[in-house]
Chain A
Amino acid sequence: MAERSMAAAELVRFRGGGFEPGLRRGAAWLVLALILAAWQAASSSGLLPALVMPSPLQVLHAFADMWRSGRLTIDLEASLSRVAWGWTIGTAAGLAAGIAMGIWSSARSVGIPVVSALFPIPKIALLPLLILWFGIGEPSKVATIALGVFFPTVITGYSSVDAVPRNLIRMAQSFNVPRHAIIRKILLPGAMPGILAGFRISSSIALILLVAAEMIGAEHGVGAFILQAGNLMQTDQLVAGVVVLSVLGLAISYLLGRLERALLRWG
């Protein structure tokens, strides 16, 4: 018996595993370094003319110039204050409207048709009108960003409230928890993951509108800086400006990640 099974014994072939993509440490930096090296090599060898694309070192120089001349501070300050105001106003108003639409039928009945009608308008198209209303200064740019942020925030607001499990609300009612406490203790924390996910979308919309608004009419700001550099064919400055914008985007995404980890520790 034992001999027979020994003679016939074969290994069971392993067929599982795979389909679990992970991240290798340092791979990102390695890829970045390779790309920069290849880029620099192409520029140094004359394959890539500076007018088409400056070399990484030229971009670094342009960046240092911006820093030394103080332009970086001025432009970054102008841009940051526009995004901060625009995003905050749009988000506050959007959350108020969206959460109200998540709670009350009356707010929802009025809100949904209005939002559906206005959401598809590319908000940058309203900038000329906003300039007529508010003048060429800051308010028109802030208002463009705020409007662009408002509508998607309304939508994430009420859909996040909708996504709060109704059984939790029924549970609270069964314990006679008052209505305002149900909103504060159950609806709002329950909607938080959706709202925070919405912040990622609305912050990228805010950045796009910022650059567009600054390119249409602004003296200062990263968008204006990039446009001016383009007009003067200073591609090194232009690319340096783009790099500043992408760092800004990364910084915002990092901060939102921190916020998510702080607020959603339970998830």
Chain B
Amino acid sequence: MELLVEGVSHRYGNLQALEGIELAVREGETLALLGPSGCGKSTLLGIMGGLLAPSAGRVRVRGAAPPGSLNHFTYVFQDFALLPWRTVAGNVALALEHHPLGAAERARRIEEALRLTGLEEFARAYPKQLSGGMRQRVGIARATAVRPAVLFLDEPLSSLDAQTRELLMEDLVKIWGRERTTSVYVTHNLFEALRMADRIAVLSRRPGRVKEIVAVDIPLAERGAPEHAATITALHNRIWELIRDEVQVADREVHDG
């Protein structure tokens, strides 16, 4: 499924968070939204999936959802958003319970999602018993169980430590290699974007605009290979030049409230 963002702007009171965003997410690709914190990435992601009404502009879809898709636009959240009173399997089940699936089909989907994310042994554990990395796997399992047409990931690895992040990135790349779900991956981390995305949309701050869209023409599975190191470094340097000043401004900002 393709997603077309057309002239989207958004204001919070006096704050112009987004202005004139034009974006197309292509079928089967992973598009990263990269920018410093506060540049409107979460706002844009919310608008793209229909959780937030934009002040102006619209978002359209084109093409068919994959067969068996129960929830076309599905999110993975930075803070996991798991129900602490439900087990791992119960949290995945929440996404399926209101759909008219047979009990067998529901159980099958839960099992498959848990297997895909390496959570089979933890089906009956509660979120508080799990590490951060395992909790985010539950968030990913819940999202894959509904077979999304477009997967929105809002800084899915930002609350994890570096090693856990590395493991989860490898797993996500593997899952994407199999499913080829159209995805939008929000991050403020340039390395993450270079590892996970087919294209990187670099956003500016206040108001959030698309500065540039950079294609990373290396298959996801080969991003770590030595023969691509030079290309990746060149891309890294180029994007860093684009965002450096804004990161500095964002970093020095004093927040109120």
Asked whether B95 lies within 8 Å of A170 as measured between CB atoms, the reply is no
Q: Is A114 an interface residue (CB 8 A)?
A: no
Picked from A168, A172, A174, A185, the residue with its CB within 8 Å of the CB of B49 is: A174
A174 x B75 contact (CB < 8 A)? yes
Asked if B49 and A189 sit within 8 Å, CB to CB, the answer is no
A residues near B79, Cβ cutoff 8 Å: 167
Q: Nearest chain A CB to B85's CB is how many angstroms away?
A: 4
The digit string for A215-229, where 1 denotes a CB below 8 A from any CB of B, is 000000000000000
Chain B interface size range = 20 to 34
Tell me if A266 counts as interface (CB < 8 A to partner B).
yes
Q: Give the contact-size bracket for chain A.
A: 10 to 19
Are the CB atoms of A267 and B84 closer together than 8 Å?
yes
A174 / chain B contacts, CB cutoff of 8 Å: 49, 51, 71, 73-75
Task: Give the number of residue pairs across the A-B interface with Cβ within 8 Å.
Answer: 50
**Given A174-B75, A176-B98, A181-B97, 7 other A-B residues pairs in contact with their CB atoms under 8 A:** A167-B81, A168-B81, A168-B83, A175-B74, A189-B83, A190-B85, A267-B85
Q: Which residue of B lies closest to A165 (CB)?
A: B81
A201 at the interface (CB under 8 A from B): no
Q: Which residues of A pack against B, CB within 8 Å?
A: 167-168, 170-178, 181, 185-186, 189-190, 192, 266-267
Known A-B contacts A185-B94, A189-B85; A167 and B71 likewise in contact (beta carbons under 8 Å):
no
Looking at chain A's contact residues, the main secondary structure is: helix
B77 part of interface (Cβ distance < 8 Å): yes
Query: Which A-B residue pairs are the 6 nearest by beta carbons?
Result: A171-B81, A266-B85, A174-B75, A175-B95, A189-B85, A167-B81
* A190 contact set on B, CB distance < 8 A: 83, 85
The A-contacting residues of B in range 59-93, CB under 8 angstroms, are: 71, 73-75, 77, 79, 81, 83-86
- Most chain B CB within 10 A, of A174, A176, A186, A267, is at A174
Distance of A174 Cα from B85 Cα, bound (Å):
19
**Separation in Å of the A261 CB from the closest CB of chain B?**
14
